């Protein structure tokens, strides 16, 4: 949703009230006025779309992960632990894009462990996951892999219209299945390139219209 610069003449006391409320909400004057007008005129803003997506994701992911912090306007953070010695933690952060257009957002994954063996297994899994996904999925997918961090970009397919339910369900299922595959590889239930490919084809690729 594009934005343009407009000039408005407002009463000083109205502006003061807007600025006070904007400060309480942690936003600015323009964003708050935009939200108030959109709500009054029943026009859905990107901020409202994000809140709706996070509300749906809370329903989908709530029973599988522990929430680190309540979701804010653009991101939500979750954590879980691997079925491995000392129960090392994995943190998931989903950050949605400002415009809410074709580039929907980014999934950031971070893990902490002092085990070299587990570090190698996770690194191996991430490489296999990226290779499998890149081979099977035709839409543009962006990755960043750096040490104990992995990032995956979500893009709305060209032939799919924007839908809160579609996006929420697609991302929610993806995160759950990625987490299951990561845990299974760390524990040895998935042990090879062929195992990861089969899991992906049977679970992720079949169940999800990937974004």
Asked if residue 103 lies in contact with residue 94, where contact means CB atoms within 8 angstroms, the answer is no
Element spanning 152, H or E: strand 149-155
pLDDT at residue 206, rounded to an integer: 61
CA 167, 173, 176, 180 torsion-angle sign: negative
Is the pLDDT reported for residue 91 higher than 90? yes
Task: Report which of 97, 110, 99, 94 is spatially closest to residue 57, judged by C-alpha positions.
Answer: 94
Give the model confidence (pLDDT) of 142-186 as tens digits.
Answer: 899 999 999 999 988 777 777 889 899 999 999 999 999 999 999
pLDDT at residue 82, rounded to an integer: 92
Return the higher-pLDDT residue of 151 and 24.
151
**Residues with Cβ within 8 Å of residue 207, at least 6 apart in sequence:** 173, 177
CATH code assigned to 46-207: 3.30.1460
Domain boundaries, the chain: 12-41, 46-207
> What ranges in 106-149 are assigned the alpha helix state H?
116-136
Q: Residues 53, 56, 60, CA angle at the centre, nearest 5°?
A: 130
Phi then psi dihedrals of residue 109, to 5 deg: -120, 130
**Average per-residue pLDDT for the chain:** 86
Burial class (CB in 10 A: 0-12, 13-18, 19+), 49: middle
CA distance from start to end of the chain = 20
Is the pLDDT reported for residue 98 higher than 60? yes
pLDDT at residue 47, rounded to an integer: 76
Quick one: pLDDT band at residue 140, thresholds 50, 70, 90?
A: low
Average pLDDT over residues 117-146: 89
pLDDT at residue 51, rounded to an integer: 84
pLDDT at residue 27, rounded to an integer: 83
Give me the count of residues in the chain.
Answer: 211
The distance between the two most distant Cα atoms of the chain, rounded to a whole number of Å, is 67
């Amino acid at each position: 949703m594009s934005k343009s610069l407009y000039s408005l003449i407002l009463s000083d006391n109205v502006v003061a009230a807007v600025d006070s409320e904007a400060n309480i909400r942690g936003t600015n004057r323009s964003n708050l006025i935009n939200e108030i007008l959109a709500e009054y005129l029943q026009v859905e803003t990107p901020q409202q779309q994000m809140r709706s997506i996070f509300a749906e994701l809370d329903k989908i992911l709530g029973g599988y992960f522990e929430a680190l912090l309540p979701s804010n306007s653009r991101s939500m953070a979750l954590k879980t632990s691997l079925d491995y010695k000392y129960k090392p933690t994995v943190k998931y952060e989903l950050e949605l894009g400002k415009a809410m257009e074709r580039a929907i957002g980014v999934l950031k994954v971070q893990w902490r462990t002092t085990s070299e063996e587990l570090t190698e297994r996770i690194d191996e899994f991430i490489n296999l996951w990226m290779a499998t996904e890149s081979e099977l999925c035709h839409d543009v997918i962006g990755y960043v892999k750096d040490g104990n961090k992995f990032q995956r970009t979500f893009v709305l397919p060209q032939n799919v219209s924007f839908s809160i339910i579609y996006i929420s369900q697609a991302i929610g299922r993806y995160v759950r299945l990625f987490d299951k595959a990561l845990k299974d590889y760390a524990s040895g239930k998935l042990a090879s390139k062929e195992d990861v490919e089969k899991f992906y084809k049977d679970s992720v690729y079949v169940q999800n219209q990937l974004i």
